[in-house]
Structure 1
Amino acid sequence: MLALKVLDVKNCMNDLLASEAFDRFLLSDATITTRMTYSLDGHLTKGYLTEEELLEEGLSGERCVPYGYVRKLCFDMIKGKRKPASFHFTFLCPQKLLREIIEGQSLSVQPSEVANLTLNLRYVGEELLVTAGCTMQGFSLDRSMEEAWKTWVLAFFGRLSIAVEKAV
């Protein structure tokens, strides 16, 4: 697991809420606390969309909606004169990105062997923490997927010019 502290909270919040930077991630869930607490469950409702609609929207094989579908809603919940009291976003790596990481790192792991690649952003007390983790479908001593995910996450924040440091 990778644990980071975001040093440039304002820049990261802008990328999270007002740009497309995080839009390709799948939103598993979000909790936003301002004057009240909002909870979002990003899991697709089984049977609501047909297989054809899922294919058209690029969601075939995914469990959750892309964050881009709800980013503006999240922004509306947070915007105002005051900072939020807290928030927590749990993002999942989409299948397309998972395949890109595996191919880019020439890993021997198959996408079906990976249960989840998660990216959590938690804001509390004016501190923004990021954790990234890898869960495999079964037990494995091979940590290459976990290391590749950590490397990708660090590079992602680097591409966004968001300063981070390893959390204690």
Structure 2
Amino acid sequence: MHHMIILSVKEIKSFMSHLFMKETLDSWLVSEVTITTHNTFQVDGRLHKDFYGETIPDELASCEYSPWSLLRPLCFGIIKGSRTPLYMKLVLQLNSSMVENILSESAAPFVPEDINGLFINIRYEDGSLSITTGSSLRTFSMDKTLDEAFENYVRRLFFQFCE
């Protein structure tokens, strides 16, 4: 995986509100979540579709990973209260339609099938919060057009929280 930028979140309380109480990132897919409070809670975001049998919701049918909207209430339940988590890491990735949008807005020489994922790693530790971006391609490329387009997308999305 190629890491691109690290953003330092200054408005932590506001960012956490968007993350856990608003729909800001609901369409992103969850790769993994680790939250340490009185225990460490780990969530593998890989969706087990057989759990639903024939009644799988349409919006999940084509997903390999759970959307944040599905796991957000559970994760919020773990962190809510008067104490701040000791540690938190969320790895989220863009859904396929968002990847296609970024590809179409950029001059990147890739098709959606070339991309394993575009990720953000949200990490809270020792009172600081950072967002690291990353991309994973199926083939090696020196071209950075996609990375730059994704980096700009993430900067625009989080501009109000970061410096």
TM-score (norm 2): 0.91
In structure 1, the residue corresponding to 2:84 is in which secondary structure? coil
- AA paired with 2:22? S
Is 1:16 paired with 2:39? no
Instruction: Give the structure 2 partner of residue 57 of structure 1.
Output: 59
Unaligned stretches of 5+ residues in structure 1:
none
Distance change >3 Å, CA 70–CA 88, structure 1 → 2: same
> Quick check: 1:120–1:130 contact (8 Å CA) kept in 2?
yes
Unaligned stretches of 5+ residues in structure 2:
none
Alpha-carbon distance, 1:115 to partner: 1.1
Aligned partners of 2:132 and 2:64: how far apart in 1?
21
In structure 2, the residue corresponding to 1:39 is in which secondary structure? strand
Q: In percent, how many aligned pairs have the same letter?
A: 31
1:45-70 Cα offsets, whole Å, 9 max, x none, are: 2544569836x12541x320100001
Alpha-carbon distance, 1:108 to partner: 2.8
Aligned partners of 2:26 and 2:112: how far apart in 1?
21
Aligned partners of 1:80 and 1:47: how far apart in 2?
34
Aligned partners of 2:149 and 2:99: how far apart in 1?
10
Question: Alignment length, in residue pairs?
Answer: 160
- AA paired with 2:59? E
| Farther off after superposition, 45-54 or 127-136 | 45-54
Instruction: Give the structure 1 partner of residue 39 of structure 2.
Output: 36
In structure 2, the residue corresponding to 1:44 is in which secondary structure? coil
1:16-43 Cα offsets, whole Å, 9 max, x none, are: 0110111111001101111111111110
Alpha-carbon distance, 1:105 to partner: 2.1
Alpha-carbon distance, 1:80 to partner: 0.6
Aligned partners of 1:105 and 1:140: how far apart in 2?
16
Aligned partners of 1:22 and 1:147: how far apart in 2?
20
